[in-house]
Amino acid sequence: QPRLQETGPGLVKPSETLSLTCAVSGVSISDRDNWWAWIRQAPGKGLEWLGTLSSGGASTYSPSLRSRLFLFGDTSKNHFSLRLTSVTAADTAVYFCASLIISSSYYFDSWGQGTLVTVSS
Amino acid sequence: SSEVTQDPAVSVPLGHTVSITCQGDSLRRFSVSWYQQKSGQAPVPVVYATHNRPSGIPRRFSGSTSGDTATLFITEVQAEDEAVYYCNCRDKSGSYPVFGGGTKLTVL
């Protein structure tokens, strides 16, 4: 099972861009059995899937965020990243990265510990 | 609104059995996974592909599905099982994953 660790700023100003990185160890992000996902959780709320990056670099985004979200990977560093533009207070959340098994099982088998991002001036 | 829905809360006496349900049309086509999230922690998968347990998950966790409803069962509930449980499956088109709203389990 891979191990994942999110890094990024804890505070972002409204209208600016949020950038987060997920470092992966134990498995290559090019491994075809694993895809890579970002999931967030607003304070006191449930889990919200944001987007998924395939082992080949193709991305799928939540319809509600498609216009503001960009996911990409760096195989040389074995990490993948999220970029969310034009943030507002509604983007304040704990952001988790996770690995997605895409065989017939289709489930998030490993998660990072999460990183809290607050959008505030 | 979510494509899969869960009851917000359920309570169960210590040592008893509890069922947590997840309902949605996409459950007719796609398998479900269940996640346990304790306060301040990352979610942990407890059941995947409807009824399989990841390594290290106690046998008291099990799952099933019937029609548009998936169920997570926890037998001989322990105090440590108190958490929020989320179901997850693909959307109706199979394009992306969707989470249920979560069910908060209280152990009495």
pLDDT at position B54 over 80: yes
pLDDT at position B2 over 70: no
* pLDDT at residue A32, as a whole number: 87
Instruction: Considering only residues B3 and B24, tell me which one the structure prediction assigns the higher pLDDT.
Output: B24
* pLDDT at residue B61, as a whole number: 98
* Largest Cα–Cα separation, chain A: 45
Distance CA A25, CA A5 (A): 9
A37 in B contact zone (CB under 8 Å): yes
* pLDDT at residue A79, as a whole number: 97
Contact criterion met (CB < 8 Å) for B31 and A101: no
Contact criterion met (CB < 8 Å) for A47 and B49: no
Q: Is A21 helix (H, G, I), strand (E, B) or coil?
A: strand
* pLDDT at residue A33, as a whole number: 86
Summarised one tens digit per residue, pLDDT across range B62-107 is: 999 999 999 999 999 999 999 999 999 999 998 899 999 999 999 9
Most B CBs within 10 Å: which of A107, A109, A111, as the mutation test of the B interface? A107
Q: Which of A51, A53, A44 is nearest to A24 (CA)?
A: A53
Summarised one tens digit per residue, pLDDT across range A26-82 is: 999 999 889 999 999 999 999 999 999 999 999 999 999 999 999 999 999 999 999
CB A58 within 8 A of CB A100: no
Task: Provide the percentage of residues in chain A whose pLDDT is more than 70.
Answer: 100
Sequence-distant contacts of A65-70: CB under 8 A, at least 24 apart: none
pLDDT at position B1 over 70: no
